[in-house]
Amino acid sequence: MSETDQRRPSRVQRPRHKNGVKPGYEELVRAAEASVGTYTPAEAIDMVGETGVLFIDVRDAVELSDGMVSGAIHASRGRLEAHLDPDNPRYVCELDDAAEIIFYCASGARSALAAQRAQELGYDRVRYLDGGIAAWTDAGGQRQAIDN
């Protein structure tokens, strides 16, 4: 066990803050996963380049250095509601032509939450990539280099 792990209290040991939210993050992610459809990496790989399919990478900008799904756009989870609102200056205009939206992140949790939020905002054909970009890569999916 590393020194950092020894200093970090386990989940069981850490007391809940008096203003702690219920349900917690894990419960919110599980609820999102249950309410939104997924694509397996193999299914999503087959959809790259299809007309009307829009991949949205919700990772933070610093996470993009390893590349993105080819043709994907970046719309960080932190500004997602603005990116999805046609009346907001940060609106992602590529959504106008999207018949299907596939959200992805590093491992799937943030993209499940993003897809759930998109549904709540009225987008009806949304799913997320099960396992995120990590599972995508493991399944042989290619990453597009990002120009900085």
The predicted pLDDT at position 16 comes to 62
**pLDDT for 104-116, tens place per residue?**
999 999 999 999 9
Return mean pLDDT, the chain.
88
So where are the chain's domains?
A: 37-144
Rounded to the nearest 10 degrees, how much is the dihedral formed by the CA atoms of 107, 109, 111, 117? 180
Average the pLDDT over each of 1-5, 10-14, 99-103, 122-126 and give the range with the smallest value. 1-5
**pLDDT for 10-44, tens place per residue?**
555 556 666 665 778 899 999 999 999 999 999 99
The stretch 50-57 carries a mean pLDDT of 96
The predicted pLDDT at position 14 comes to 57
pTM: 0.84
Q: 37-144, what's its fold?
A: Oxidized Rhodanese; domain 1 (3.40.250)
Cα dihedral sign for 73, 79, 80, 83?
negative
**Sequence-distant (≥ 6) Cβ neighbours of residue 15 within 8 angstroms:** none
Cα dihedral sign for 21, 22, 27, 32?
negative
